[in-house]
Amino acid sequence: MSFKLVSPHGLAQFAVQQQQWLGVDLHCVTQNIFAKKSWQSFASDQATVSVILRQGGAGFCEPRKRINAPLARTRYDAGHSLYIPPHAEIWGFGDSTSLVCDLRARFQLPAVEAMLGDQFDRHKWSEPVLLVYDERVRKIAALLWDECHAPAGGSSLCGESLTTALMASFFTASRTVQESSQRGLSRPMLKRILDYMEANLAREMHLDELAAVVDLSCSHFGRGFKASLGVSPHQWLMQRRIALAQELLLRRENIAVAAQMAGFANQSHFTRIFRTITGTTPRRWLDQAD
């Protein structure tokens, strides 16, 4: 998974943190800029979604169809997103920006079709989307940025769920999203998937694997699971793993051993998730339980 900036002007240096989930290449791009005017091409043989998470300096950055053709806009802060179809000539332009951080996703059509299933709106594939401020999309991108930078590459299930949510934001009709978010899994489906997750609690699981258990697309499964239980598959899994770890700790298992047996990558990851869910550390929880 290689990454390079195309036809950059005014760039001092850049850094990239990369990850791949469900066939989508994710690039966390940090650019330091020295020129008053800067630009680069977004052209690629893959489709591209970019979410501008941060811009530094007194100016602004924006996508343009032509370098010298500004967009009409009323907001100049970071937080906007864009979608560029394969081979489309769109430019990223900056004026008096010293820093730009964006989450950039690149992917091919089959990856999105597999992810979204019958919720995929093919009409949206070939139409560019420029300069959209959507707080939900910004939050998803910010969480993906954090997950890409997490130790040991983050959680696959969490990253895959967030990637699916990002793609659904661009390629699913809003009415379909609203309807599917209100429709949970059937009781037989819910029993089947919970039995499967319980049986595989301590090993790494993937979103497409779980979706296949109930014969749904990743998007449909993720929304249906949350509508049924009020939490995402990743959140449910973390809660169950912490509950298992607590049982092991009460049996006097060593903290590191309990973390490993409950399916956590390492003790540091276990402690972080334990604190998030319980509000305290494993050691303090165990002291209070005695």
- Tell me the CATH number at 39: 2.60.120.10
Looking at the structure, do residues 222 and 245 belong to the same domain, yes or no?
Answer: no
H/E element, 12: strand 11-21
Residue 168 placed within a domain: no
Strand 80-84 with 129-133, pairing: antiparallel
Residue 163 placed within a domain: no
Looking at the structure, do residues 90 and 204 belong to the same domain, yes or no?
Answer: no
141 and 166 Cβ atoms separated by less than 8 Å: yes
Looking at the structure, do residues 78 and 209 belong to the same domain, yes or no?
Answer: no
Residue 126 placed within a domain: yes
The residue among 211, 230, 249 that closes a domain is 230
The residue among 230, 247, 267 that closes a domain is 230
The alpha carbon of 216 is separated from its chain's Cα centroid by a whole number of angstroms, namely 20
Can you give the pLDDT at residue 182?
Answer: 64
Can you give the pLDDT at residue 253?
Answer: 86
273 and 242 Cβ atoms separated by less than 8 Å: yes
d(CA 77, CA 60): 7
Residue 161 placed within a domain: no
264 and 273 Cβ atoms separated by less than 8 Å: yes
Looking at the structure, do residues 14 and 135 belong to the same domain, yes or no?
Answer: yes
64 and 38 Cβ atoms separated by less than 8 Å: no
Looking at the structure, do residues 244 and 278 belong to the same domain, yes or no?
Answer: yes
Residue 1 placed within a domain: no
The alpha carbon of 182 is separated from its chain's Cα centroid by a whole number of angstroms, namely 22
CATH code of the domain in which 265 resides = 1.10.10.60
Looking at the structure, do residues 134 and 13 belong to the same domain, yes or no?
Answer: yes
Global pTM?
A: 0.92
Q: Which portions of the chain are predicted below pLDDT 50?
A: none
Looking at the structure, do residues 46 and 79 belong to the same domain, yes or no?
Answer: yes
The residue among 121, 155, 189 that closes a domain is 155
The residues facing 33 across adjacent strands are: 11
The residues facing 120 across adjacent strands are: 172
Can you give the pLDDT at residue 17?
Answer: 95
State the residue range of the domain holding 204: 173-230
As for how many domains the chain has, the answer is: 3
The residues facing 129 across adjacent strands are: 83
Looking at the structure, do residues 133 and 81 belong to the same domain, yes or no?
Answer: yes
For residue 183 the two structure tokens come to 């429709």
Looking at the structure, do residues 12 and 115 belong to the same domain, yes or no?
Answer: yes
